[in-house]
């Protein structure tokens, strides 16, 4: 077997192994597994762009909410695959416009803009619903079960990982890593930085939008406060940073423990969840700046250097 086929086949094998779980899990564990898969898709999609480029984006929930509202508006009018296709196209178009307009920004300016973008989209949706619909919020009546959502999210996670592997091994992946190291040097080396950043930003945003569309029927009712909750963006950021956004598998190392932690915190300390979320973020940045994957690489490197050389 060729070496470059091992990783994609391993990702597909893991997805197939996870597929039967809803048949043996009860409702609570299915719900928890869905949360893990949702954040795995979002955090990995976030890392596709932000990991190599080191551009910290807080726009995750803008695209997630856009996907949810695509399902809310079109779920009863179109077949399920058609709604997902429309959501993907909408996410890609919005990401293209936003990327071409803003990816010349960097550092704290980009962070502030992406946070503002999510709030702008939420306010626009609220205004449009009140203006043209006469109410804010709508019910979602789609014939889809919790098991179906689990399987769709599993397929989406597998697709995100396969896309990440393909990008990482391509010239586009090399260009993104060069931009992350030093964008000015990369431009002088002939890298079309704007095109590279916009292309992967679109891919990342499309996966986020699809995740929102898949998750929307689970809520039955959606409004801008639910769909565009800014905490989602911060949770995705913390998970990716804890796991390590520099590696494709890194965000997953942050998703699993933090989903379990946030489940406990939200159930037992709902009034203090935002404070505890901020505290978690500070602890992650201070104690694990390179993420768990970076910590593991460091330990492996020290172990290898300590072994006697022949």
pLDDT digits (tens, 9 = 90+) for 235-271: 999 999 988 888 888 899 999 999 998 888 888 888 8
pLDDT, residue 90, reads 95
Q: Scanning the structure block, which residue is given the tokens 């955090």? A: 43
Answer whether residue 106 shows pLDDT above 80: no
By CB neighbour count within 10 A (0-12 exposed, 13-18 middle, 19+ buried), where does 281 fall? Answer: middle
Backbone CA torsion sign across 136, 37, 85, 119: positive
Round the average pLDDT of the chain to a whole number and report it. 87
By CB neighbour count within 10 A (0-12 exposed, 13-18 middle, 19+ buried), where does 270 fall? Answer: exposed
State the Cα–Cα distance between residues 198 and 81, nearest whole angstrom. Answer: 26
One-character DSSP codes across 112-135: HHHHHHHHHHHHHHHHHIIIIISS
Contact 237, 111 (CB under 8 A): no
Q: With bands split at pLDDT 50, 70 and 90, how would you rate the model's confidence at 104?
A: confident
Contact 22, 146 (CB under 8 A): yes
State the Cα–Cα distance between residues 195 and 123, nearest whole angstrom. Answer: 29
Q: CB neighbours (10 Å) of residue 226?
A: 14
pLDDT, residue 1, reads 43
By CB neighbour count within 10 A (0-12 exposed, 13-18 middle, 19+ buried), where does 132 fall? Answer: exposed
pLDDT in tens, 138-161: 888 888 889 999 999 999 999 999
Residue by residue, what is the 3-state secondary structure of 273-295?
HHHHHHHHHHHHHHHCCCHHHHH
Residues 6 or more apart from 150 whose CB is under 8 A from it?
21, 22, 30, 33, 34, 37
pLDDT in tens, 5-47: 788 888 999 999 999 999 998 988 999 999 999 999 999 999 9
Q: With bands split at pLDDT 50, 70 and 90, how would you rate the model's confidence at 306?
A: low
Angle 213-92-248 from CA coordinates, rounded to 5°? 80
Please state which of the ranges 33-47, 58-72, 199-213, 258-272 shows the lowest mean pLDDT. 258-272
pLDDT, residue 303, reads 60
Residues 6 or more apart from 101 whose CB is under 8 A from it?
none
pLDDT, residue 184, reads 85
Average pLDDT on 274-283 reads 83
Q: Of the spans 75-84, 107-116, 204-213, which averages the highest pLDDT? A: 204-213
pLDDT, residue 209, reads 97
pLDDT, residue 41, reads 96
| Residue 70 main-chain phi, psi, to 5 deg | -60, -40
Rounded to two decimals, the pTM is 0.91
Bigger pLDDT: 274 vs 49: 49
């Amino acid at each position: 077997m060729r070496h470059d086929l091992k990783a994609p086949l391993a990702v597909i094998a893991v997805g197939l192994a996870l597929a039967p779980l809803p048949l043996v899990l009860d409702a609570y564990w299915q719900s928890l597994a869905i949360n893990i898969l949702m954040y795995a898709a979002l955090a990995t999609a976030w890392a596709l762009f932000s990991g190599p480029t080191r551009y910290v984006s807080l726009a995750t929930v803008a695209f997630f909410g856009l996907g949810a509202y695509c399902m809310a508006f079109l779920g009863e009018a179109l077949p399920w695959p058609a709604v997902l296709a429309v959501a993907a196209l909408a996410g890609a178009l919005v990401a293209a416009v936003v990327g071409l307009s803003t990816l010349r920004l960097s550092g704290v300016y980009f962070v502030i803009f992406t946070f503002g973008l999510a709030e702008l989209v939420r306010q626009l949706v609220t205004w449009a619903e009140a203006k043209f619909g006469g109410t804010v919020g709508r019910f979602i009546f789609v014939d889809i079960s919790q098991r179906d959502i689990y399987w769709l999210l599993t397929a989406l996670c597998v697709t995100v990982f396969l896309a990440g592997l393909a990008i990482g091994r391509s010239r586009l992946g090399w260009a993104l890593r060069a931009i992350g190291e030093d964008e000015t040097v990369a431009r002088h080396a002939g890298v079309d930085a704007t095109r590279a950043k916009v292309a992967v930003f679109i891919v990342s945003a499309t996966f986020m939008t699809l995740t929102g569309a898949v998750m929307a029927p689970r809520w039955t009712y959606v409004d801008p406060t639910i769909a565009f909750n800014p905490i989602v963006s911060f949770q995705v950021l913390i998970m990716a940073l804890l796991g390590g956004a520099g590696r494709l598998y890194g965000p997953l190392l942050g998703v699993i423990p933090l989903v379990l932690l946030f489940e406990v915190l939200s159930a037992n300390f709902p009034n203090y969840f935002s404070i505890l979320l901020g505290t978690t973020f500070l602890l992650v940045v201070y104690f694990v700046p390179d993420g768990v994957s970076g910590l593991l690489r460091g330990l492996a490197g020290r172990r290898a250097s300590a072994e006697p050389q022949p």
